[in-house]
Structure formats: structure tokens, C-alpha cells
Amino acid sequence: MSGHDVIFFIAGLLVAFVFALCVQMRLLAGIALKRAAKAKFDGLDERDARLAVAGAVGGLVDDGPASYLGETFPMAIRHIRLARKGTAIFAVLLIGVIAAWRFTGGAD
């Protein structure tokens, strides 16, 4: 393994790690918001709780659980929005690092 390969390997690992952190933040914040909606609204089933989280994060706030989540947990919603941007950006960066390594002669 040359120094060139090591640099791309480290860059790929760092980008993959940040991508995994973004996915994890997105999942965990979504689960927490879904549980909060189900705790507040007793008759809410799994599907409606997921739709409430998606509505609150997407800005489609109505008078139901989505508005409750938007008013009560604005930071968690901002975290999910940030994680959505991060997953998109770092997925493209990971593909870019792999492609750059491949086309600069690293992968034989």
C-alpha cells in the first residue's frame, strides 16, 4: 500500500464515519419524536406517528400531532433536518472519494 492509497483510505473512512453518524442522528431523533407523539396522543398508531414526524420535519404542520412536535421539540426537528443534509452531502463525498481514488490509479 502506497502513501497515496493510505490517504484515500483514511479520507474514505472519515467520510464514511461522518455519514454513519448522520444516519444515526436521523434515526434516533426520529424515534424520539415518534415516541413523544405516541406518548402525548394515546390513540396514535405507528403509521400516524411516523407521518406526524415526517410532517413536522418537512414543514407540513397541521393542527394534530405534527404541530405539537413542531412547537414542543424544535431543536430535535432541526437536528433531523441537519442530518438529512449531512447524509446527502456525505454520501456524495464518499462516492467522490472512491471515484477519485479509483481514477487516480489507486485501485488496480
For 55-75, write each residue's pLDDT tens digit. Answer: 999 887 777 899 999 999 999
Q: Quick: pLDDT tens for 15-69.
A: 999 999 999 999 999 999 999 999 999 989 999 999 999 999 988 777 789 999 9
Query: Cell numbers of 73, please?
Result: 421539540
Closest C-alpha to 84, from 32, 48, 30: 30
Least confident of 7-11, 14-18, 22-26, 89-93: 7-11
CB 10 within 8 A of CB 106: no
**Do residues 50 and 34 touch, judged by C-beta distance below 8 A?**
yes
- Of 108, 106, 79, which Cα lies nearest the Cα of 6? 106
Task: Give the distance from CA 38 to its chain's centroid.
Answer: 22
Q: What amino acid is encoded at 31 in this protein?
A: I
Q: Is the pTM of this model over 0.75?
A: yes
